[in-house]
Each structure stands twice: as C-alpha cells, then as structure tokens.
Amino acid sequence: MTMKKAHACLMAVLLAAGTGAGAQAADSAYPSQPIKLMVPWPAGGGVDTTARMLSEPLAQKLGQPIVIDNRGGAGGNIGTELAARVKPDGYNLLMGSISPNAVNIHLYSKLGFDPIKDFAPIVYVSAVPNILVVPASSPFKTVKDVIDAAKANPGKLNYGSGGVGSSQHLAAVQFMSAAKIDIVHVPYKGTAPAEADLAAGHISLMLDTTTCLPFVASGRMRALAVASKKRNPALPDVPTFDEAGLPGIYASSWYGLMAPAGTPRPVIEKLNAQANEVLKSPDMKRRMAEFGAEVGGGTPEEFGQFIVSEIKRYESIVRLSGAKLD
C-alpha cells in the first residue's frame, strides 16, 4: 500500500464515520449497554495488559462495563478480522497494535481485512520500546561491545525473538542494518521461551519489549540500550541507541483504540475525549510507567496519520528482513 493511497483511504474512513443512519442514532445516551473490546492476542501479553489498564477506568467514565474478548492467532490477524466484520455501532471496539495494523500487511500476501479502510482510529494509547538486553553473565556492557564482537566474529552471535516478523525480530533487523553487523536469528514460538533462554545464557541477546523488565530488575538480564527517542522511565540509567552512538533505531510495540469503519462520528469523539482524560490521569501515567510504556493520547486523525506512517515505515524494514509468513 503506497503512502498516498493509505492517506486517501484514511480520509475516506474518517469522513464516513460521521455519516449515515448510524450517526443519526448516536446521541448523548451512548453507551447504554456493555461494550466489547476485541484483543486479538492471548491474555497476559502487552496488548492484553494495555487493554485491561485502559478499559477499567474508561468503563467508569462511560458508565458501562467493557468486556475483553481475547481472540489470539496468526499474529493478531484472526481477532482483528473479526473486529472488522462486527456491527459498527460503538459497542464493538478493537485494541489495535503494530503487528496486525501496520506490519502484517507486508508479511502476509493476503489479509482478511484492510488495516486502513476497515477501521476508524479512536486514540493512540501507548507504546513500549524494544530494549537491547543480554544475559547477566554476558561480557557485553555496552552497545559498542556487541557491535565489536559481531564484527570480529561474523555469524557467531545470535539473537532470540518471539517469532519471524515479531517486534523483536524487526527491531533486531534495524539494529543489524544500522551497525552493519551479522547476527543469527533464533525465532521462538513466543516471547516467554526466548526470554527464558536468554536469561539462561543460551542465546546472545534480544531486542525485547518491556516484558524483559522483571528479568532486568532481578539481575538475570542486563539492559544496554532502548530503541526510543528518549530514555524509558522504567530504565532511567539505560541510554537510548542515539545516546549509545547508533542513531536512528526506533522500534516500539504500540497500542491504540479502534472501531470498525462506519462507527458514528459522535461515538468516536466521545470515546476519544473520555480515553484522553483517562490517559492524562496521574494513576494511568504511573501504571504505564511501571509497565515501561510511553503514554499516548491525541485526536483520531493524529492516530490515523501515525498508522499510515508506520505502514509505510515497516514496508522497507520487512523487505530488509526477508520475512514472509505465507
């Protein structure tokens, strides 16, 4: 999908959100019944954790419960496709994320949904950066140590990931490209087994998400750099890649609230306003910081433009990785 085409699709979706019989039916009484929030991943992961952190205080503001529906599988594609096909009435929402809503269009030759045309963005919720971590027993103390060792021993170091096309995989691709090094990919069936092997010293490193924080806190892993533009509040003493002398490596798993295309604009606006209030609250900022997340917010249009830019950005990254999942 070209940038121009994605932008045009986004504008059409946003304009359509305020028209039709559905918009006429939306009024100040919304919501008058429970809301279902689709989470296209199993319980316990980053998308699920973020959805639960947001849904509880948002439900209190809306005056109706928000029920989480976990439908994992196919890199988030199964649940995301289901969310695209439900009635666009404001009672069916999606916790979108980087894989199904920006990356998978480049990994799969055919998706059962269009990440732009089939969804109306509501609000950017948060992002958790990828972090370069090594076992506590590793001799590497800095990013430069890793790069020097990789250049001295091409193909000898390896890195783990939660699977081909995962955020850890694509973050490592960016790292290798920027550093001009060759490190062997060891894909696992999920993040947890990769982290276990890293902590045990069976693999050299990972560009992990913030699920590695407990390992770092317990002294089983060492964090060397964060792939974000500013330091992470959960790791204030760990430099960014920019600060470590390898600029331009920005890799984060992001999350955002979405609805099926055609959801009435008044509903989108109400959800956006209430979610922004939640995200600005001190309690949410504290909880997000503990999770190692950067808090989002903003307008539906800003979130939509961000998605378009991420789709474009990951086109070249996925091509560089050589990954294909069908």
Same domain, 74 and 108: yes
Exposure string (b/e) for 160-196, b if CB count within 10 Å is 16 or more? bbbbbbbbbbbbbbbbbeebebebebbbbeebeebbe
Predicted local distance difference test score (pLDDT) of residue 9: 59
3-state secondary structure of 46: helix
Same domain, 200 and 168: yes
Count structural domains, the chain.
Answer: 2
Exposure string (b/e) for 81-118, b if CB count within 10 Å is 16 or more? bbbbeeebbbbbbbbbbbbbbbbbbbbbeebebebbbb
**Closest listed residue to residue 255, CA positions, set 76, 22, 60, 7:** 76
- Give the structural domain span for 172: 131-226
> Is residue 246 included in any domain, yes or no?
no
Q: What gap in Å lies between CA 14 and CA 135, rounded to an integer?
A: 46
Same domain, 23 and 89: yes
Note the pLDDT tens digit of each residue in 208-244. Answer: 999 999 999 999 999 999 999 999 999 999 999 999 9
Neighbours of 290 (CB within 10 A): 13
Note the pLDDT tens digit of each residue in 44-67. Answer: 888 999 999 999 999 999 999 999
Q: What gap in Å lies between CA 157 and CA 154, rounded to an integer?
A: 7
> Is residue 232 included in any domain, yes or no?
no
Residues 6+ apart with CB under 8 A from 282: none
> Is residue 326 included in any domain, yes or no?
no
Note the pLDDT tens digit of each residue in 272-308. Answer: 999 999 999 999 999 999 999 999 999 999 999 999 9
Same domain, 24 and 122: yes
Q: What is the pTM of this model?
A: 0.86
- Name the pLDDT band for 11 (thresholds 50, 70, 90): low
Write the CA distances from 57 to 66, 69, 211, 291, integer angstroms: 10, 17, 23, 17
Same domain, 39 and 181: no
Same domain, 121 and 137: no
Same domain, 189 and 109: no
Same domain, 19 and 101: yes
Same domain, 176 and 87: no
Counting beta carbons within 10 angstroms of the beta carbon of residue 316, is it exposed (0 to 12), middle (13 to 18) or buried (19 or more)? exposed
> Is residue 107 included in any domain, yes or no?
yes
Neighbours of 210 (CB within 10 A): 24
What CATH number did the domain enclosing 81 receive? Answer: 3.40.190.150
- Name the pLDDT band for 190 (thresholds 50, 70, 90): confident
In one-letter notation, the amino acid at residue 230 is K
Q: What gap in Å lies between CA 123 and CA 114, rounded to an integer?
A: 18
> Is residue 231 included in any domain, yes or no?
no
Q: What gap in Å lies between CA 313 and CA 78, rounded to an integer?
A: 23
Same domain, 214 and 144: yes
